[in-house]
Structure 1
Amino acid sequence: MISTHVLDTAKGAPGVGIHVSLSIQSNTSSDDNDAAPVFTPVASGTTNDDGRLPDWLDGKTLNPGTYRIHFDLEDYLTQNRQPVFYPHADIVFVVADPAQHFHIPLLLSPYGYSTYRGS
């Protein structure tokens, strides 16, 4: 299971209405090493009033691999009258054991963001 949520640290509130997508890397290291990673969409959704995406995988089975969560931030920041320095954020991480829970939150402010593996 992969879950995520967004916390707007500048407002001290959840990041509501942010479009988020999850993809898995579909090319491997044995492919052309000069090629940019290619990601295949897995799921997408919009954060709720708590800044979360409940059930965004809709029962899909995870496979081991390299995943990317893409957060579209520009509309959210604009609507909240915050400067747009980072129009989006991508978090790339490895799922070695798909039976584990991977909680990947995004802490957001106008001029920075951070992430960690949560529980």
Structure 2
Amino acid sequence: MSTDTTATVSTHVLDTSVGRPAASVPVRVSTRADATAGWTPLGGSLTDPDGRCADLPALPEDAAQVRLEFDTGAYSAQEKGSSAAGPMEGGAFFPEVAIVFTVRPGEHHHVPLLLSPFGYSVYRGS
């Protein structure tokens, strides 16, 4: 839950190549207080069967920018072994997707990742 001074973040991952959520994608969260500061790792989570991360770490009050790192290579390797591997079975063209965005105090920031074998898209959701 956000307060007047703390931003919150959430994400989910959808595999558009097979038309379903991407489960068990490792996601790491880092923050920094401004564009010149170094990144502070906060921890991470795995996406659930619906492609969502229910337990991402809370952001510190001074967070101005957030970096979400998605281990799409691990997801690709997992899918390679499944019967529904689809076009990802040759390995991930993008083994990692890192998204950096600005947060505002007191606001919630939902940033979904739409993943396909040779591309991805992100947006600010609600």
Provide TM-score, normalisation by structure 1: 0.83
Residue-pair matches, total: 110
Q: 1:104 to 1:89 in 2, by over 3 A?
A: same
Taking only aligned residues, the RMSD between alpha carbons, in angstroms, comes to 1.8
Tell me if the contact between 1:26 and 1:40 (Cα under 8 Å) persists in the aligned partners.
Answer: no
Q: Structure 2 residue aligned with 1:113, among 98, 117, 120?
A: 120
- Asked whether 1:84 is paired with 2:92, we answer yes
Q: Secondary structure at the match of 1:80?
A: helix
Report deviation, 1:43: 2.8
The runs of at least 4 aligned residues of structure 1 exceeding 2 Å deviation read 25-29, 59-64
Spell out the pairing of 1:40-119 with structure 2 (5 A cutoff): 40-57=40-57, 61-81=60-80, 82=88, 83-95=91-103, 97-119=104-126
Gaps of 5+ in 2: 1-7, 81-87
Corresponding residue of 1:10: 17
Corresponding residue of 2:26: 19
